[in-house]
Structure 1
Amino acid sequence: MVNQKQGFIERHGLWSDAQKAAAEALVAQIKQSGIRNVRVGWGDQHGIVRGKTVSAEHFIKCLKDGKDFQLVTAIFDTTNHPIVPPFGAENHLGIPEMIGLPDGVLVPDPTTFRVLPWVEDTGWCLSDAYFGNGAPCPLSTRQILREQVAKLESDGMGMLVGLEFEFYVFRMLDPKLSPADSGYPPAAPEVEMISHGYQYLTETRGDEIEDLLSYLQKNIDALGLPVETIEDEWGPGQIEVTFDPLPPLEAADAALLFRTAIKQLCRRKGYHASFMAKPKIANTFPSGWHMHQSLVDAETGANLFAADGEDTPLSKLGMAYLGGLLAHASGSALMSTPTINGYKRRAPNSFAPLKAAWAKENRGAMLRVIGQGGDPASRIENRVGEPTANPYLYIASQILSGRDGIARDIAPGDPVTAAYDEDRPDLPESLMAAIDGFAADDVIRTELGEKAHHYLVSLKKFEVARFLSEVTDWEHREYFEMY
């Protein structure tokens, strides 16, 4: 680097050789391109981007010293309620570096840098969270995924992940910005549909919102995200976007950028985009996040799920990986479906799974196996996730579950045909049940580490407690007049 004095990043050895080279090139790019500001982002525990906007000159300094950042955000629920007393002895959750809530350091990953096409002269760069002593923050979910990827690589394998997001776009009528609506959390915006009816993959319906889809695609393409398809989904104003396969960390980074970009782009045009699984809007069909995945040979790139013959849909390794996903279906639900609302998309024949089961080309099963007889595109589609899931945790849950399946050669059992009716283990029906399953899974506890595991349990128990303390519309209708 051009700086003579050794900085925080170099002093603690926080970058790979590839990142060092990318940083050198990035300094030259920023100086030549006229970029004024850079958004230094961090994917928090909820998969929401937090961070700071800094001047281009200051960002160049950040490439040496990192950027000071308040890691108090790590103890927030989705509405910024601290899950523990911010200055109590218990706020550290077993992490001494967080006592008193001192600043942490966001270390930019220069390989993630993008120029935002919808913001004038502004760049965007993801970062990793560290403490002032150079230790990685154990609550940083990008680090959790990186550790799982490293374990997979130590086994001589890599992974490819295909993202498939469903979400809604509504026309904004009233953003609810009055003081009375600015609560904790604030009032939801008032919206209307952008199209009518349930018209799955109908060309005319898609054409009705072509201006919007083209606007979104143009900007997403400009970010360098590998969009494969963008189309109207089942519900009115529901959209599905799929991506070409990516390595796991790149896929998670892309998911994070994609969601925040979609919300910003829509808001600028008078729309409201929501990745909520089941909005409380009449005639909306639930949205899911289907994750396609396969393992590849780290040296050759060959698909390790491809079967040798016609008698099995996946290789022996692939079937054991499949068995691992099923064995940890209950334990990993907290990582794939982390909200109370996410469990409300599950119902018989709803395209959302109810049981820990697999099938060949069956969209009612949790795990849909695609490919047979040596097909190089052989893969597993996990249909259990919700679109709000933290992408680092969701992908990490697949790796650790699949690796355990391979290590113990777990048999997945027979495929199902009637996915909602057969006698297979039920998936958690609520976030409360998912917390119990997560807490009871010793493999997940060991893989994540005690601190991260305890933290995620605490985070979600706090969310559940807030939900249970709220008097709902259902309760008021049910009891207020009758009693």
Structure 2
Amino acid sequence: MSAEIIETLRSGRLANLGLLSDDDIQFAEATIKKIVNNGSETIRLVFPDQHGIFRGKTLSVHHLVSVAANGIGFPSSLLLKDTSHRTVFPIWQKQKDAPDYILEGALDVIACPDFRTCVDFNWASNSTLLICDLYQRNGAKIDFSSRQILKNATTSLQLAGYKALFGLEVEFQIFRIIDDALKHDQSQMPPTAIKTENITQGWQYLTETRYGEVEEILEELRQASETMNLGLISTEIEMGPSQFEFTFGVDEALTQADKFLLFRTMVKEICRRRQMHATFMAKPIMPNSAANGWHIHQSIIDLNSGLNAFMASTDLTETSVSSNWIAGLLHCARDCCLLTTPTVNGYKRYQPNQLAPTNVNWGYDNRGVMLRALIFDGDPNCRVENRVAESAANPYFAFASQIMSGLFGLENTLVLQPATINPYDVEATLLPRTLGEAISTFHNSAINRQFFGDDFVDYLTIIKKAEWDRYNSRVSQWEQDEYFNNF
């Protein structure tokens, strides 16, 4: 059986295109046997799209070897959609602002399963999930796909002699569904938002009794996180009604991005089975709700010494790896804010005195600044916490932006500005105030174009501008209340 599998993999399309090494083939063969022996009946083949949403197909396990050898096709139009799931590129004609190879005729791209991402989805059914990388039919990379963007960034950092590690704090809410919004006239693009109610009253941060009220659902999510080896550390009651925070230990960039997306997907699917709705939206419109943020903890490892490079100097007034890295994050914060805060709603989280940043600044162990430096003498866990991101961000793009920014600071030996005590000082440089401002800044950034390439910058600009234009074309309730009676 093993020899037959190996021979099939070696003679398949992926190997012939140079997409499978001998190590990949050996690892895939061992994983396939494990999947079959564990009793999996279906295989979920997914890839992360441009919004950090898994797209995929579910196959019978009997076709696993064939897919491992040959990949599976997906329509390229999945890479061309905005958050309403509309295709926003003219796929029936040439497009000067994005690569032609991905646009013409909604052609297929090839998904190649990464067997090192294999996770047990048996909490849902007898199912196993595999994350895929995307390629053109000729085996060429799709350079603006989510995983490839992050792989390119980690390679650049490795060439500089470092490896990035990331830890996660993720805030989200779980509500009980009271109306599924399934009427025919509610199924537009995007569909009508479902109606919900709280499962806790909130405003009792980290209290044991609040945890007891919702322990059943949180325990189910914890167990699934453990089964999937996501590196969960803690489950916590957050500040607002029905708001929670899960924290995760450190891991390398690509692995951690995969874990974050697996977590978001798992949470939404499990909650839905319980007639609940989990949302990672930054600022839901419900009365009294609190904003959700994603805090990105980061450090870098010196590949020569194997040590945390931020430990070399805890005096951030000197030129050091840590000070250069932080200076780079500050310098590039506006340029790449679109990658950490990619939605219209995310910019409404940036409010003073709400434990969310409004300015481009840093401070020592200060929860109001954008960059919270947790760098202390002799601490092997020295790190920087970037509090700018929203929980709905694409983690592959977000991590790539952190690597780009920090690397820019290292390569240019940027000098770190003084630490901030008052995080909401009106004299400081502001983060973008709207998605529109973030799109324009991202598009016009020479740093972004040098690091990510013109194709990616133009591609993402078109997708996010479609979202921003739709938002601006809608008449809001605020406008109705402000002007209808008045004029």
Q: Which amino acid aligns with 2:282?
A: A
Do residues 390 (structure 1) and 394 (structure 2) align? yes
Moved more, 187-196 or 92-101: 92-101
Q: Indicate which of 257, 263, 269 corresponds to 1:258.
A: 263
Please give the residue correspondences for 1:4-15 in structure 2 after superposition, counting only pairs within 5 Å.
Answer: 6-15=11-20
Q: Distance in 1 between matches of 2:459 and 2:92?
A: 17
Do residues 462 (structure 1) and 466 (structure 2) align? yes
Could you state the TM-score of these two structures normalised by the residue count of structure 1? Answer: 0.97
Do residues 475 (structure 1) and 479 (structure 2) align? yes
Structure 2 CA distance for partners of 1:206 and 1:188, relative to 1, 3 Å: same
Aligned to 1:126: 131
Q: Tell me, which stretches of 5 or more residues in structure 1 are unaligned?
A: none
Aligned to 1:89: 94
Aligned to 1:272: 277
Q: Which amino acid aligns with 1:190?
A: K
Aligned to 1:188: 193
Q: Tell me, which stretches of 5 or more residues in structure 2 are unaligned?
A: 1-5
Aligned to 2:122: 117
RMSD: 1.6
Q: Indicate which of 185, 207, 210 corresponds to 1:205.
A: 210
Do residues 406 (structure 1) and 385 (structure 2) align? no
Do residues 56 (structure 1) and 61 (structure 2) align? yes
Q: Distance in 2 between matches of 1:290 and 1:314?
A: 26
Q: Distance in 1 between matches of 2:478 and 2:308?
A: 50
Q: Indicate which of 342, 345, 355 corresponds to 1:341.
A: 345
Residues 397-447 of structure 1, C-alpha deviations (whole Å, 9 max, x = no match):
000110010000111210000010152211101101111211222111111
Residues 14-37 of structure 1, C-alpha deviations (whole Å, 9 max, x = no match):
245553332011121133222111
Residues 61-104 of structure 1, C-alpha deviations (whole Å, 9 max, x = no match):
11111111111111111111111223132288233343112111
Displacement of 1:3 in angstroms is: 1.0
Q: Distance in 1 between matches of 2:22 and 2:200?
A: 49
Displacement of 1:59 in angstroms is: 2.0
The percentage of counterpart residues that share the same residue type is: 38
Q: Distance in 2 between matches of 1:389 and 1:442?
A: 22
Aligned to 2:3: none
Displacement of 1:161 in angstroms is: 0.1
Kept in 1, the 8 Å contact 2:172–2:244? The answer is: yes
1:382 partner SS: strand
Q: Distance in 2 between matches of 1:308 and 1:190?
A: 52
Aligned to 1:353: 357
Q: Distance in 2 between matches of 1:460 and 1:181?
A: 24
Q: Distance in 1 between matches of 2:20 and 2:403?
A: 24
Kept in 2, the 8 Å contact 1:158–1:296? The answer is: yes
Residues 254-300 of structure 1, C-alpha deviations (whole Å, 9 max, x = no match):
01101010000100111100000000101101010000000002254
Structure 2 CA distance for partners of 1:207 and 1:313, relative to 1, 3 Å: farther
2:436 partner SS: helix
Could you state the TM-score of these two structures normalised by the residue count of structure 2? Answer: 0.96
1:34 partner SS: coil
Structure 2 CA distance for partners of 1:314 and 1:13, relative to 1, 3 Å: farther
Q: Distance in 2 between matches of 1:185 and 1:30?
A: 37
Please give the residue correspondences for 1:26-425 in structure 2 after superposition, counting only pairs within 5 Å.
Answer: 26-90=31-95, 93-308=98-313, 311-312=315-316, 316-421=320-425, 423-425=427-429
Structure 2 CA distance for partners of 1:4 and 1:443, relative to 1, 3 Å: closer
2:251 partner SS: coil
Residues 276-326 of structure 1, C-alpha deviations (whole Å, 9 max, x = no match):
0000101101010000000002254310011446x4489701100100000
Q: Distance in 2 between matches of 1:291 and 1:268?
A: 29
Structure 2 CA distance for partners of 1:57 and 1:284, relative to 1, 3 Å: same
Q: Which amino acid aligns with 1:53?
A: T
Q: Distance in 1 between matches of 2:287 and 2:24?
A: 48
